[in-house]
Chain A
Amino acid sequence: MIAFDRVEKRFGGRTVVGPLSFEVAEGQFVALLGGSGSGKTTTLKMINGLVTPDAGVVRVDGEVVGAGPLAPLRRRIGYVFQEIGLLPHMTVAENIALGPRLAQWDRARTAARTAELLELTALPAEVGARLPAELSGGQRQRVGVARALAAGPRLMLMDEPFGALDPITRDALGRDYRALHERLGLTTVMVTHDVTEALLLADRILVLGEGRILADGTPRAVMRADGDGRVRAMMATPMEQARRLEALARGSADG
């Protein structure tokens, strides 16, 4: 579905991404994992053309990104990011309806779709009439997901989608989204710096460091990666935390 072919991006003469080559098959849930400055967000934005590569080619559905107008391509791709970017002068329902409106759906079909998405993202129906400012952070992010899904994309791009939420809401939303991914047969590329989140949600993890792939594989494979030292160091902390938590739980059960 997505193919990167020797893609490079430079900012001010410094190479921040690449050369990078990888493919994402239809139906996969891929996490782009890395610290800040690893080039993961830049990589994601080259998929929908928000960033233009300086060398190499990105293809989506076999079509070279940037060869034609970008707007129609972007309408076929769902995009969710940390700041969400809900339009503050529109109600939740109007925000969700933006994609269908851009695709010029009729009124009845748009209304039905909006109601469906509120339900799908576990939002109460009455939220539709409210303005974004009246919602909690978790609700806002659910609306962001609903809006991205509204026009029925097959590909979803997510940039730290749950980064600003408290851990409990974050976990709940992550799991809810993973279920939607299955149910709707989506292909998802998600940028995150949270190793646990990547390990628990994705089918495949691409670990990035300084714009290059350090590891690529299933969560289990990456977790056990014995090649790159940096990847091992990254995995060590959550593993260590998990062991300590387990020990703590056992200890308290014993005591």
Chain B
Amino acid sequence: MDDRWAAAWRLLPDYLSQHVLLSVCALALGFAVSLPLAVVASRSPAVRWPSLFAASLIQTIPSLALLALFYPVLLALSTISRRLFGAGFPALGFLPSLLALTLYSMLPILRNGVAGIRGVDPAASEAAQGMGMTGWQRLFWVELPLAAPVIMAGARTAAVWTIGAATLATPVGQTSLGNYIFLGLQTENWVFVLFGCFASAGLALAADQLLGLIESGLAGRSRLRIWGGVLGLALGAAAALSPLAAGHARAGYRIGTKNFAEQYILGELMAQRLDATGARARLKEDLGSATAYRALAASEIDAYVDYSGTLWTNVIGRRDNPGREAVLRDLAAILGRRDHVRLLGSLGFENAYVLAMRPERARELGISTIADLEARAPDLRLGSDLEFLSRPEWTDLRRAYGLRFRSSTAYQPTFMYNALEDGQVDVISAFSSDGRIAAQHLVVLSDPRRALPPYDAVILVSPRHANDARLIGALSPLVGAISVQMMRQANYSVDRTTDKLTPTAAARWLDARIRRK
């Protein structure tokens, strides 16, 4: 328990600084766009209605979806720009998060800006005009100062929304306080989830109070409160951002991970190996399955672990199964030729999609292979992870064995195992390296028709670092070094509900095991 709190505190400077940087930039940009727009909109109904409508519409898009949508859009733009100007830009991480959050912050500033300016006493406007002020003088001397408290109230709302929504930047590869929450949810580390909630809520609350101080200062014309709020915000931001200035000079390799325990552990392991050479490595956690490969091919991350079957079916679109060795060999050749991605080698174990059941249920129904399921499936309920049902592997498996289940439900991996244990489902799509298979004594159904491809865990290296001696030197010793038993044990140490290890600690344990061998 103490270990997890300590781990959470250690990560805070990095997560908080990234979170604050993202929120501050998004709010500043949102303010810079929304305020002039509010001025124009307050004068012209032709601008007012469309812009308020658009801002409201954006607000109705779930923030996670908005963040996710910017990735393909930026990727397409980057491809076009690379073709036109020879230079692209990162489609993952800071940029999509910034753009999505900026859009998200606009409505309250815009709406309050319009209301504030239109709400200025007509007598004050008439006096300003009658006195011979130009349009700009009227705006800066009269309208904006009088609307300032209302505009600040909008900025406050925007700040709270943005800081909260910034936790959702984690899945598009931008580190934030959301890393605690996503990581905690995946590994059932509720300490991390709580820590992330408290940290982001605390940050939002602090920003809200300081902006509130400025707002009341503007309303009550108190210079003291205005400057107190501004100073508080500036000092707070500077303190939160200081680790960034220190860390930035040493920014080095970026290691990607997908969103489950094994990926966190292997990501940490690679980062630790790089750190040991004196290089600096940072993790980009919680990447989606498809985004991870594209990010690597675009050199936005430098290395990550993927699985041969996933690459085989999803990245190069093959449906055949020529066998473990052939798949690895062909993948290395095709990825190298097509995307200049280097496949460094297999770590030594498979993390395959398998179907698993509770032993007593399997015995009772007399099922030991997937072929045995064919007749029984119409009475059985399938539980899967969030991806499996939409993946080509599932189509192939269904076709090969003629499977038709009574129902199928998608879960977060953690909850999927719980559902099987509770008897809510009869069969699950498990992962062969998952520690919970051994821990829960599950029966893995064999695949006699070889419908599922092999899933060797392989290290992929980005085109930019394909020949980087330091990176290759640090990661090569991991090739062939991890047995499925070792990986299961490491995974279980993170996934189990009691006496949990953090991924960092599990990676250290795994590293020690590798070196002992």
Contacts and interface: CB of A to CB of B under 8 A. Distances in A.
B134 A71 contact: yes
A227 interface: no
Would you call the interface of chain B mostly helix, strand, loop, or mixed? helix
A187 interface: no
B137 interface: yes
Contacts of B125: 85
Interface string A42-61: 00000010100000000000
A87 B134 CA distance: 16
A89 B145 contact: yes
A71 B133 contact: yes
A99 B131 contact: yes
B146 A74 contact: no
A106 to B, nearest CB: 18
B330 interface: no
A50 B126 contact: yes
A86 B132 contact: no
A76 B131 CA distance: 9
A84 B129 CA distance: 13
Interface in A83-112: 83-89, 98-99, 102
B127 interface: yes
Contacts of B124: 85-88
B492 to A, nearest CB: 65
B140 to A, nearest CB: 12
Contacts of A177: none
B132 to A, nearest CB: 3
A223 interface: no
Interface residues of A, number: 24
A71 B132 CA distance: 4
A48 to B, nearest CB: 6
Contact of A74 (B121, B129, B145, B221): B129
B131 to A, nearest CB: 6
Of listed B123, B126, B130, residue having the most chain A CB within 10 A: B130
Contact of B221 (A72, A77, A85, A89): A89
A237 to B, nearest CB: 30
Contacts of B132: 70-77, 102
B220 to A, nearest CB: 11
B225 to A, nearest CB: 15
A74 B137 CA distance: 14
B127 A50 contact: no
B123 A98 contact: no
Contact of B123 (A75, A84, A89, A99): A84
Interface in A113-134: 131
A102 B137 contact: yes
Interface string B182-197: 0000000000000000
A160 to B, nearest CB: 13
A75 B128 CA distance: 10
Given A89-B146, A89-B221, A102-B137, A84 B130 contact: no
Contacts of A50: 126, 129-130
Interface string B127-167: 11111111001000110011000000000000000000000
Interface of B: 121, 123-134, 137, 141-142, 145-146, 221
Interface of A: 48, 50, 70-77, 79, 81, 83-89, 98-99, 102, 131, 147
19 contacts: A48-B130, A50-B129, A71-B132, A73-B132, A74-B129, A75-B132, A76-B132, A81-B126, A81-B127, A81-B130, A85-B124, A85-B125, A85-B128, A87-B142, A88-B146, A89-B221, A98-B141, A102-B132, A147-B131
Given A73-B132, A74-B132, A98-B141, 15 more contacts: A50-B126, A71-B134, A74-B129, A74-B131, A77-B132, A83-B123, A85-B125, A87-B124, A87-B141, A87-B142, A87-B146, A88-B146, A89-B221, A102-B132, A147-B131
